[in-house]
Structure 1
Amino acid sequence: MNLSPQDLAQQLALGRVGAGTVLLAAPVPALRLMGADTATARRVSWLTRMMAVRDAALGVGAVLAARRGGDPRPWLVAGAVSDAVDAVAFAGAIKQGRLSGPVPAVLVPGAAVVAAAGLITAARLGRS
């Protein structure tokens, strides 16, 4: 399936809203899934909620911009930067032994791919 840049932007934005919603609603289980131990997940659940609100706000901003005839590109670029920083932070946490398991190992390339998709989509929107 070949999505238009507008459709891909919408999918990226809605995915970000969904991820933010899950992290906000269940920060401790989400962190446990990401490879943190229970004590750490509980201690930093407030940070997870901050990340959740950031992601949801970036997603909602992109959705609203696109639906109102505005430009979602700044929102996509901001999301891509956030995802790239997340990839670096996850990689550092894995290297330091703070996160373990198969999910964290997938989070690093996953966040990098989503960051690249956001930048590429923003560039494609600029040409359309």
Structure 2
Amino acid sequence: MNAQRRRPTPKRPTGPIRTLHTATLGITRCAVGTLVLTRAVDTLRITGVDRLTATRLAWVARLAGIRDLALGAGLLTAMATGRDTATWLWAGMIADAADVSVFTASTARGHLPPALGTAMATAALGGVAAAAPLTRTTHTGPGE
């Protein structure tokens, strides 16, 4: 029994792969945000909301679009200026985790069709999973 045995550390994207991965997240978030912001009524209609209600509630969808556009633009700006991207990645993951919770609860309560609610929750969870490897830090010290 070797007390000094090192455990393998999870892989973390580095160099050009990390840059591409981070940029892809930022661009994707900006694209989704722009789509929801500019097509708010259509976005709500996809969830089964009638046109009149979607028109009245479009401002809520636009809030989500603005949020995603701001998070994506912040991430891309941090990259372009050489600043730390961790805060933007964490903010995006927290927003996506909140979306998972809302979509799951809405589906469970019957406010969203099961297939659509599951797809939306899965997409939001995918955002969390895509950003998570970029937030890992490598610790090197005594006993590690």
Q: TM-score with structure 1 length normalisation?
A: 0.87
Q: Identify the residue that residue 36 of structure 1 maps to in structure 2.
A: 48
Identical aligned residues as a percent = 28
Secondary structure of the residue aligned to 2:61 is helix
For residues 121 and 103 of structure 1, the distance between their equivalents in structure 2, rounded to whole angstroms, comes to 28
Q: Structure 2: which 5+ runs fail to align?
A: 1-12, 139-144
Residue 117 of structure 1 and its aligned partner are, at CA, apart by 1.6
Pairs aligned (count): 123
> Which residue of 40, 63, 85 maps to 2:98?
85
**1:81-111 deviation line (CA, Å, top 9, x unaligned):** 1001001101111111111163322111221
Runs of 4+ in 1 over 6 A off after TM superposition: none
1:38-77 to 2 correspondences below 5 Å: 38=50, 39-77=52-90
Answering whether residue 128 of structure 2 is matched by residue 111 of structure 1, we say no
Residue 44 of structure 1 and its aligned partner are, at CA, apart by 1.9
Give 1 or 2 for the bigger CA radius of gyration.
Answer: 2
Residue 23 of structure 1 and its aligned partner are, at CA, apart by 0.4
Contact 1:14-1:59 at 8 Å conserved across structures: yes
Q: TM-score with structure 2 length normalisation?
A: 0.78
The 10-residue stretch of structure 1 (2-11 or 55-64) with the greater mean CA deviation from structure 2 = 2-11
- Greater relative contact order: 1 or 2 (C-alpha under 8 angstroms, separation 6 or more)? 1
- Counterpart of 1:71 in structure 2: which amino acid? D
For residues 116 and 31 of structure 2, the distance between their equivalents in structure 1, rounded to whole angstroms, comes to 18
For residues 131 and 26 of structure 2, the distance between their equivalents in structure 1, rounded to whole angstroms, comes to 9
